[in-house]
Structure 1
Amino acid sequence: MTETKPPTPSHAFRPDPGVADPPPREARRPGCRTDHPRLVLTATILASSLAFIDGSVVTVGLPAIGRSLHAGAGDLQWVVNAYLLPLSALLMLGGALGDRFGRSRMLVLGTALFAAASLACALVPSLPGLLLGRMAQGVGAALLMPNSLAILGDVFRGEGRGRAVGIWAAAGAAAGAVGPVIGGWLIDTVGWRAIFLINLPLALAAILLAWRYVQDLHDREAPPLDGVGALLATLALGALTWALTVGSGPHGWTGPATAAGVAGVVLAAGFVGVEARRGDRAMAPPSLFGSSTFVGLTLLTFLLYGALGGLMVLLPYLLIQTAGYSGTAAGAALLPFPLVLALASPLMGRLAARIGARPPLALGSMVTAAGFLLALRIGDGACYWTHVLPAVLVIALGMAGAVAPLTTAVLGSVDPRHTGSASGLNSAVARTGGLIATALLGAVLAARGEALVAAFRLAAVAGAAAAAGAGAAAFLLIRPARPERG
């Protein structure tokens, strides 16, 4: 008599193609599982969109914040850097916290902190209070960003992962498209404080979805947290950022700026030494750099996002200060950039899953460099349609070729135990690139008239060189790999 297997109950979990099977109980590693992958994707999109929207909206609001709080060029740099500094320094720790205590839990905690800090930014009466609120936003983003990506790495696989990451990047770009326009309108009609209130409904929806539909899988053997490494990274980035901000300003590289720069280098060297001793227990495990591919991805991320971070601060500032744009118009001027990313990123994510990440990363970086060279045509009285728009479109096309393939490549390049640390490290490198670029903009933000235009063009040349360097890193260091199949 032949034994027959009982039918699978109709309510049993059947993952879609491209959705990872839950691991056996005895083989579980830190990660997440769900019976509702689409709702999980929605939760990660809503949470990470907080960081995308906040970054784009605040750059449009810098002139209004400066007038309202009597802030100079150096102060405006810190409105951006007070957010980027803790974000850059703590992203790796945020990923490690997710690996140890649960990625969904850290996503919820970070989103809640970001929302509370946004409310504080909208209510504070002075510049120091705004800077403290921005720092708290950075801490919240450091928790939610790496864990949103790590959750996608857990829940999806193969081409499904590339498609999910592409949708994630596209949705973030779409949020970035709406944010500056709505933010500019709020600045012109209500005031700059209203731009921080945009974050509250998004945060609430993300928290509810993640709390309800994402299940954490815990690793009881996870190593202790790397508190010393986190402290050294924070102090090193703080010292270097302060040195670059002051050194690029009117006072130049005087004694305090030089001393802070030296201290930052020493602290960074100490961080590298601590991480090397801790090995795989470090928040930035040295084993991640065991292949030229991960090194190439890291270098590309730093250069490409550094160039982009400088552009996103300078272009709306230039348009408002020299061309007389309103906040709404300056936000709308950037609209084609995230729209192109929103349309192209899902396609590029699927393409990278099939042919590998190196071709789109190399080509996308070079196209981005060409867009920065087109930005040299932007000046006082430049026509938007013939001078600004072509540069924005070409940069957007290049970035669309790189964003989703880069994220997919990072998630697929490491052991599943380290996806939180790897995504945290990659996000940290991206934000550090933007942090350093912003810290170097003191002379540009302090300039006026033709001097501002000349400084902007010099920054555009530097952005083109950085993007070209990113393309070279992709071509020379990233090894061709067989596409992952679901």
Structure 2
Amino acid sequence: MRSDIRAAVRGPGLALAALSLAMLLSSLGTSIANVGLPTMAEALDASFQDVQWIVLAYLLAITTLIVSVGRLGDIIGRRRLLLGGIALFAIASVACGAAPSLSLLVAARALQGLGAAIMMALAMAFVGDTVAKAQTGRAMGLLGTMSAVGTALGPSLGGLLIAGFDWRAIFLVNVPLGLAAFVLAYCCLPVDGRAATVRRGGFDGVGTLLLAMTLAAYALAMTIGRGNFGSLNIALLAAAGFGVGVFLLAETKAASPLIRPAMFHRSGLGASLAMSALVSTVMMATLVVGPFYLSHALGLDAALVGIAMSVGPVVSALSGVLAGRMVDRLGARLMVIVGLVAMVAGVVGLAAIPVAFGVAGYIAAMVVLTPGYQLFQAANNSGVMMAAGAGERGVVSGMLNLSRNLGLITGASVMGAVFAFGSAAADITTASADAVAGGMHITFAVAAVLLVAALVIGTLGRTVR
């Protein structure tokens, strides 16, 4: 009887709605907590440095586990693991909202991050099972749109919930959304076939542990000290480099490796991952540098800074589906190049236009940059996922999401350091308008170089078709 009900409601539209809601939840979980940090620090009698772990625990869990959960979905079945991930996310959200102490809240956030990693990896992996190949770009564009909506919605929704209730509401709001996503996924996603339980060998526990430790070391190296590299950061970075070597060696000897090194050469996966990391590094620079430039160099108050900063996510959300349609019509590889060219134009505009035209110039540059980013994302993700075999979509999707997360983490640290260096000020918050403007120029000059490097990879390298 239950299978008859599922069959009656199942269809590409409702299946994509389930995947979109899962993607929105994972991105909302990233952005909604930041606005509540001051309130949580006061309520839990903790320092600002300590409450930062509420955000960091979530990001670390996603970064370290997203490839592994993608691979696990390939082995045991994507539908059952996605349902488990949604349920875990909702249960962890209840635990976050009920946490009596900071330590328990951080632990619950780590579990929530695990649920988010499952949703992020398997939502993209499921696209190949739910839509026709000719509509892959459209579906990827929709998922990109929902990710942007979640990112843009988080700060404003979080602020309203804290004002109307308290900080616990920013976590409890995920519970009804998680329940809706679970019901949609249960009813509308295709049931795992019997072969899913024996697909592509066993699970690589050693490789999973090595990769998680390596990624955790890198993520901590990039985040501890907020861009000021000390001996601990250097030690963690060295440990991450050593971990990469040990992991690759272990994968060559594993019977069922988590990641097959040959995958990076096939279908241009390595080039696509490199471009994704570079592009994400640049996009994080806009979030790190933008608020300081708008407030200190252009003199905007907090409300106007928020409005100007919301332009990027809003334009990104509006352009996602259109970008996907263009990918389906004109091909992934061409749209990767077009998207990167638009991004280069946008970052050059950010470095030059606001000086002459103020906030209008900033917004104009972002209106060029963000649709280019969405076009690149839709094209790159579509090309990679279409080339992936049915039995490896989970791990490939995990690697795509991982490259994006590593780029964001790197961008927050490295591009923030570039901005501080370019401003030539000991403290950015007290720097002069001219110093901040100088930092802006140098930061986005570096960003342009990174995007040109991605463009060279996309043009000359073996990338998605």
1:469 partnered with 2:444? no
Match of 1:171 in 2: 146
Q: Separation in 1 of the partners of 2:24 and 2:293?
A: 25
**Does 2:378 align with 1:404?**
yes
Which of residues 66, 71, 83 in structure 2 aligns to 1:91?
66
Number of the residue aligned with 2:219? 241
How far off is 1:270 after superposition?
1.0
Report what 1:119 is aligned to.
94
Deviation at 1:347, TM superposition (A): 2.5
1:270-301 CA-partner distances (Å, limit 9, x unpaired): 1111222237x222222321236222211111
SS in 1 for 2:192: strand
- 1:231 is the counterpart of 2:206: no
The answer to whether residue 347 in structure 2 is matched with residue 369 in structure 1 is no
In the superposition, the TM-score normalised over structure 2's length comes to 0.83
Residue of structure 1 in register with 2:363 after alignment: 389
User: What TM-score does the superposition give when structure 1 sets the normalisation length?
Assistant: 0.80
* Residue aligning to 2:423: none
Normalized per residue, the structure richer in helix is 2
Letter in 2 for 1:211: Y
Match of 1:258 among 234, 246, 254: 234
Change (3 A) 1:14 1:209: closer
Partner of 2:313: 338
Question: Is structure 2 residue 409 aligned with structure 1 residue 435?
Answer: yes
Q: CA 1:263–1:395 in 2, change beyond 3 Å: closer, same or farther? A: same
Alignment match, 1:153: 128
Equivalence map 1:310-321=2 (5 Å): 310-316=285-291
Report deviation, 1:365. 1.9
Unpaired runs of at least 5, structure 1: 1-10, 16-33, 482-486
Report the Cα distance in structure 2 between the residues aligned to 1:193 and 1:309, rounded to whole angstroms: 27
Contact 1:81 1:435 in 2 (8 A): no
Superimposed CA distance per residue, residues 128-156 of structure 1 (whole angstroms, 9 cap, x where no aligned partner): 44433332222111111111111111122
Please give the alpha-carbon distance, in whole angstroms, between the structure 2 residues aligned to 1:61 and 1:426. Answer: 29
Match of 2:252 in 1: 276
Match of 2:430 in 1: 449
- What letter corresponds to residue 411 of structure 2 in structure 1? A
Relative to structure 1, the CA distance from residue 463 to residue 118 in structure 2 (aligned partners, 3 Å threshold; closer, same or farther) is: farther
Query: Among residues 266, 271, 285, which one is paired with 1:296 in the alignment?
Result: 271
Q: Which letter maps to 2:316?
A: L
Contact 1:181/1:329 (CA < 8 Å) preserved in 2?
no
- State the Cα deviation string for residues 363-406 of structure 1 (Å, max 9, x = none): 212322332343346999x954x144223222212112112112
Say if 1:307 and 1:437, in contact at 8 Å, map to a contact too.
Answer: yes
Moved more, 471-480 or 395-404: 471-480
Partner AA of 2:206 in structure 1: V
Aligned partner of 1:415: which letter?
A: G
> In 2, Cα distance between the equivalents of 1:64 and 1:318?
26
Answer whether contact 1:292 1:478 (CA < 8 A) is retained.
yes
Q: Cα offset for 1:71?
A: 3.9
8 Å CA contact retained: 1:77, 1:439: no
- Paired residues in the alignment total 445
Q: CA deviation at 1:76?
A: 6.9
Asked if the contact 2:138–2:327 (Cα under 8 Å) also holds between the matched residues in 1, the reply is: no
Q: Distance in 2 between matches of 1:298 and 1:123?
A: 38
Q: Is the 8 A contact 2:26 2:117 kept in 1?
A: no
| Amino acid corresponding to residue 132 of structure 1 in structure 2 | A
Aligned partner of residue 230 in structure 2, secondary structure: coil
Deviation track 1:151-206 (CA, whole Å, cap 9, x = no partner) reads 11112222222222222222333343433332344455555543333322221111
Q: Secondary structure at the match of 1:417?
A: coil
State the shift of 1:108 in Å: 1.5
CA distance in 2, matches of 1:132, 1:97: 22
C-alpha distance in 1 between matches for 2:415 and 2:33: 16
Report SS of the residue matched to 2:392. helix
Deviations 1:410-430 (A, max 9, x none): 111121211111111111111
Identify the range of structure 1 (46-55 vs 442-451) with the bigger mean alpha-carbon deviation.
442-451
Kept after mapping to 1: 8 A contact 2:76/2:198: no
